[in-house]
Amino acid sequence: MSTDLQDLLREGLDRLTAGTTVPDGLVGRAQQRNRQRRIKIRAAIAASTALAAAAVTVSLTATGSQPSNAPVRTQTIADIATRTEQALAATADHGNAIQVIRQSGSGVPFKLSALGMGGSLEHPGPIPVLPRVLSTVTAQYVTSWTYHGLYLQEGFSAAGRLVFVNSTGGLTKRQSSENYGAAYPVRVSWRTVIRGASGLGGLPALSCQNVGPSGYPSWQASISKSLSCGLYYLSGRQWVDGVDAMTLVSRPRLGGGLFRSTIWVNPATYLPVRTSLVTLSGPGRGQHLVNDFRFLPPTEANLAALHAAIGRAAIPAAFRRLHLNVLLLAVAGGM
């Protein structure tokens, strides 16, 4: 029997799609998922940018504060929570510091994700999804720099090779800013102008019921709220990055029991040294994400390190330019 493949395919697809009806509530479900997505977007941005001003607190509180090996046995979680809330609140008023966060994960690659910013981008165009060429780019860890409005993400391979750079500014100020970067393995670059942050509005206020370990709406806010709601207990002390840190472990009711979160707090500054998030159930079960925080005073040496990072992010002119209409951010496992 000899027949034509295309005709058979056409007839097969006709049969497959025959008698189709649209299920009820499809638009409503799409709207609901968009609302959930906006919360994730806000959390991702907050996780990367919200502690920009923390370094000044380090410099202010480090002088005259207790040494890092001071005894804390008499401290209660309430005392630590209060001091940490105060330290975090102070970071919101100052920005004269270089914040560096190293984000890594156990078996969780970091991908560039296109974040929807409905109606806020300069170039509405025909690209509705993350360009395919970018979807293949993954990093094993990401270093984020924030300093005076500059925000720079660097994605590295396991061998320490620069995989992508991604820079965004002004996200929290509802003003125009730009997102630009490059993916080195595929030799492409992009630049997107963002007007305002209208796509991120209308999100729910933080409460003891909805506060989670994701950094929404900012790390300061989520950590402070979680501590004030009594969602962490003092587990003891552990050495983290040379700091004999106070270890705060989440109670099961944080995040509905889906996560186990740990915050290591510097006893000298009462700022976080590290946060850890383990997903206990759901699609991401077993994922382990770690954020290591550093708040550097703007000394010549630290500024030189920042400039070196900016220098690494130089984008060769020969790279192919992508015309994007989305905001890109690196997130664990993609979004």
Partner 1 sequence: MGGTPTGADLERLLAERGTQLMRVAIALAGGREAGEDLLQAALERLLRKPRQVDQDTEGYLRQVLYNLAADGWRRRGRWRQRLPLLRAQASQASAQASDGADVVDLRDALVRLLRQLPPRQRAVIVLRYWEQRTEAETAALLGCSEGTVKSAASRGLRQLRELAGAQANLGFELAEGTS
Q: What's CA 42's distance to the chain center, in Å? A: 9
Q: What character string, x for contact with partner 1 (CB under 8 A) and - otherwise, covers 29-68?
A: xxx-xx--x-------------------------------
Q: Considering the complex, state which of residue 128 and residue 316 has its C-beta at the smaller distance from partner 1.
A: 128
Q: Pick the binder of partner 1 from 88, 130, 171, 309 (CB under 8 A).
A: 130
* Residue 17 interacts with partner 1 (CB under 8 A): yes or no: yes
132 touches partner 1 by CB under 8 A = yes
User: CB of residue 230 vs partner 1: minimum separation in angstroms?
Assistant: 36
Nearer to partner 1, 27 or 159 (CB): 27
CA dist 295 and 302 (Å) reads 10
Counting other chains too, the contacts that 32-40 makes at CB distance below 8 Å and 24 or more residues apart are 34/116, 37/116, 37/335, 38/116, 38/199, 38/200, 38/202, 38/203, 39/203, 39/204, 39/216, 40/214, 40/335
Closest to partner 1 by CB, 126 vs 242, is 126
Single out the segment in contact with partner 1 by CB under 8 A; choices: 4-12, 47-55, 57-65, 221-229: 4-12
Q: For residue 138, report the phi and psi dihedrals to the nearest 5 degrees.
A: -135, 150
Mark the segment that binds partner 1 (CB under 8 A) among 125-133, 168-176, 177-185, 222-230. Answer: 125-133
Residues numbered 313 to 332 that lie near partner 1 (CB under 8 A) are 325
Site residues (CB under 8 A) for partner 1, limited to 100-119: 116, 118-119
Q: For residue 306, what are its two tokens?
A: 């920042």
CA distances from 327 to 108, 112, 128, 180, 194 (A): 21, 10, 12, 9, 8
Where does this chain touch partner 1 (CB under 8 A) — which range of 52-60, 123-131, 210-218, 291-299? 123-131
Least distance from C-beta 61 to partner 1, angstroms? 42
Query: Measuring CA to CA, which residue among 154, 100, 118, 126 is closest to residue 329?
Result: 154
SS3 annotation, 58-123: HHHHHCCCCCCCCCCCCCCHHHHHHHHHHHHHHHCCCCCCEEEEEEEEECCCEEEEEECCCCCECC
Nearest-approach distance from CB 199 to partner 1, in angstroms: 7
At its nearest, how many Å lie between partner 1 and the CB of residue 105? 16
> Should residue 8 be labelled a site residue for partner 1 when binding is judged by CB under 8 A?
yes
Is 302 one of the binding residues for partner 1 (CB under 8 A)? no
C-alpha–C-alpha distance, residues 13 and 3, integer Å: 16
Considering the complex, state which of residue 25 and residue 256 has its C-beta at the smaller distance from partner 1: 25
**CB contact set of 242 (below 8 Å; sequence gap of 6+):** none
Site for partner 1 in 161-200 (CB under 8 A): 199
- Select the span of 7-15, 63-71, 151-159, 181-189 touching partner 1 (CB under 8 A): 7-15
SS (H, E, C) 105-168: EECCCEEEEEECCCCCECCCCCCCCCCHHHHCCEECEEEEEEECCEEEEEEECCCCCEEEEEEE
Size of the site for partner 1 (CB under 8 A): 44
Q: Within 198-237, which residues bind partner 1 (CB under 8 A)?
A: 199
- Chain residues binding partner 1 by CB under 8 A are 1-17, 20-23, 26-31, 33-34, 37, 116, 118-119, 124-130, 132, 135, 199, 325
